[in-house]
Amino acid sequence: MQRTVIFDLDGTLVDSVPDIHAALDRLMATRGQPPFSREKVTRFIGDGVPVLIGRAFAARGLPEDPTALPAFIADYEAHAAVETRPFPGIPAALERLATEGWAMAVCTNKPEAAARLLLKALGLEGCFAALGGGDSFPVRKPDPRHVLATLEAAGGDAARAVMVGDHHNDIAAGRAAGLPVAFCAWGYGTPEMADGAPVAARAEALPGMLEQLVPR
């Protein structure tokens, strides 16, 4: 039975903070608000765009605005790959995993359309058998059904699959789905978010670590 690895996207495969940061600052500028620091925006990321916007508005003491979400998404999708790049070592790691017979999928809380646009722009779209975005299903991480639905779309089986991410949502969702998990130290999550999961310090370490978690 083929093995499947399910990856988070932002903070795991790609360093997308620069373009998310720029889009968020443009949104806030239209409301007369000053820009955020890069560190602050990094801490906003991980729970999907609606939560990102909610956190930004709360940080500036602004009331909820139903026009903010569609405005942000439209602007971000138009500029999603200006500065965003795969993390060092990720393209090579994906190539090695494919060579070793792994099927790969992406499970992200980013909206599906934005995720597909980004992967296509970076030349990574063809690496993945399925993409489960934050609006692809009725649930999103940390709900394990997001992971399981993405796994099913990729044609995988939970008995031969693993979840990889940089955020507590990834670790919690993967474990609740019954999968072994691996944590990416280079991402946006804090070290304690690994919660005892094996930690990959660099992308180059992933293939060997995944081999140990789901042996041939």
In CATH, 4-15+85-213 is 1.10.10.60: no
> 187-190 long-range CB contacts below 8 Å, 24 or more apart?
187/8, 187/11, 187/12, 187/87, 188/10, 188/11, 188/17, 188/42, 188/43, 188/45, 188/46, 189/11, 189/46, 189/165
The one-letter code for the residue type at 141 is: K
Catalytic annotation, pick one of 8, 10, 19, 47: 8
Instruction: Kindly list the strands in the beta sheet with 199-200, ordered across the sheet, starting from the edge strand earlier in the chain.
Output: 130-132, 103-107, 4-7, 161-165, 181-184, 199-200
Per-residue pLDDT 10s for the chain (216 aa) are 899 999 999 999 999 999 999 999 999 999 999 999 999 999 999 899 999 999 999 999 999 999 999 999 999 999 999 999 999 999 999 999 999 999 999 999 999 999 999 999 999 999 999 999 999 999 999 999 999 999 999 999 999 999 999 999 999 999 999 999 999 999 999 999 999 999 999 999 999 999 999 999
Domain segments of the chain: what residues?
A: 4-15+85-213, 17-78
CATH superfamily of 17-78: Putative phosphatase; domain 2 (1.10.150.240)
pTM of the model: 0.96
Known catalytic residue at 8: yes
